[in-house]
Amino acid sequence: MTDLETRVAPASSALGRASSALRRAAPALLGYAAVRALGLVALVLWSAARDKSAHTLLTARWDSLWYTRVAELGYGYEVRLPNGDVHSNLAFFPLLPWLERGLHAVSPLSYADAGLVVSLLGSLAAAWGIFAVADRVYGRRAGVCAVLVWAVLPVGIVQSMAYSESLFTALAAWSLYAVLTGRWVTAGTLAGLAGLTRPVGLAVVAAVWAAGIAGFVRERRGSSFEGTGSGSATPRAHAGRRALGLLLAPLGAAGYVLWVGRHTGKGVFGYLDVQAGWRNGFDGGYAFARFVADKFTSVPGALAGLALIAGVGLVLWLYAVCVRQGQPLPLLVYAGVVTALALCASSYFGSKPRLLMPAFPLLLPLALALARARPRRSAAVLMAVAAASAVYGAFWLNGSGPP
């Protein structure tokens, strides 16, 4: 074999594997695209009926405006509210604005439209990553169902907005898949990028570290070497790659938090001060519990309070089922940390369903149940929920919408 053939062969093999993986995931991706298209059609029709712009709702309201300002003007912008609160754009992690800026520089797209494109592509990458993880753990049919269940979430319309949830979920899902297949450097790199996307990137770091430490413990106890995905690597080489992955994983989040501390002159606690200006913090769920309790002062409020309790109960029950079904450790750690950060934060309570959206391992029990049901029944359930989700998403964005 010539030198040229030696160099071309691995690239050709990699392209072949990617093509095969894409064909395997095609039903999930096509189904996901159909659900998202339905949601966008419903949004356009509902917005037109209310004389609003669906495009504006997707690209130029709430957090998307803050990301666009970072992309266009950089950091340093803040708003001082009459009550003394300071809303600083330092609260928003930089990867999405960086991508918006880069795409704007090489295309005629505005910063806002660049953010929308990044989100749409990120949502497809997230759907593929969710499929890859579920397919790895439970098989192809469960993988397809997992993607469709994620697509039909009541707040699934956020997956089509110029927000960072889709990008983050894509990085998280593929990092977890890399862990499951023993590609530690890839897992650590993607975890680092996830940490540059949202504060909840800590969940990805925790998952990578938990799996890595568990691997080292198994080897210390004399377990057989597991080199899945590592080719012909020796145990020592595999351990070295795993250690490198663990070192890479926290660099994104740590780097940004340290930079904010230096920028604000407040050291390692600078980012916490920025979040405090938004009244964001971690109080173990105390503020959320008070919010729910306050609902029971009236009959309509009591109904809303009961709905909130039922929703939290459903999330916790799903996590318990994940544990009982023996999901791999990195998935349990990731979903657990995302859930804890979402439910125990003192941030705006209406955002909690959106903050839970990246916790896709919680949906795997539902996906597995659909995969085991008759195809016609599963299809009917998913289509009905998709229609309801599309209508709700259009109603939600034309009303209070995400914060």
Q: Is 5 exposed, middle or buried (0-12, 13-18, 19+ CB in 10 A)?
A: exposed
Q: Print burial letters for 234-266: b (CB count within 10 Å at least 16), e (below 16).
A: eeeebbebbeebbebbbbbbeebbeebbeeeee
- At residue 400, the pLDDT reads 85
Mean pLDDT of 274-303: 85
- At residue 225, the pLDDT reads 40
Q: Are 190 and 376 in contact (CB under 8 A)?
A: no
**pTM score of the predicted model:** 0.93
Separation between Cα atoms, residue 18 and residue 21, nearest integer Å: 5
Separation between Cα atoms, residue 133 and residue 181, nearest integer Å: 10
- At residue 227, the pLDDT reads 46
Provide the 8-state DSSP code for 197. Answer: T
Q: Are 47 and 395 in contact (CB under 8 A)?
A: no
Please identify which residue in the block is written with the tokens 């198994």: 218
Instruction: Write the pLDDT tens digit of every residue in 311-354.
Output: 999 999 999 999 999 999 999 999 999 999 999 988 777 789 99
pLDDT at residue 38 tops 90: yes
CB atoms within 10 A of CB 37: 12
- At residue 77, the pLDDT reads 93
- At residue 336, the pLDDT reads 98
- At residue 300, the pLDDT reads 77
Alpha-helical runs (H) found in 357-403: 364-372, 375-397
Q: Are 181 and 132 in contact (CB under 8 A)?
A: no
Mean pLDDT of 192-214: 97
Mean pLDDT of 279-304: 83
- At residue 301, the pLDDT reads 79
- At residue 78, the pLDDT reads 92
CB atoms within 10 A of CB 108: 7
Separation between Cα atoms, residue 398 and residue 157, nearest integer Å: 12
Q: Are 359 and 338 in contact (CB under 8 A)?
A: yes
Q: Are 273 and 266 in contact (CB under 8 A)?
A: yes
Mean pLDDT of 298-306: 83
* Average pLDDT along the chain: 92
Mean pLDDT of 293-309: 84
Cβ neighbours for 307, distance < 8 A, ≥ 6 positions apart: none
Instruction: Write the pLDDT tens digit of every residue in 206-262.
Output: 999 999 999 989 888 875 444 445 544 677 788 899 999 999 999 999 999 999 999
Mean pLDDT of 254-278: 92
| Residue 37 one-letter amino acid | A
Which two structure tokens, joined as six digits, stand for 159?
């997956």
Cβ neighbours for 2, distance < 8 A, ≥ 6 positions apart: none
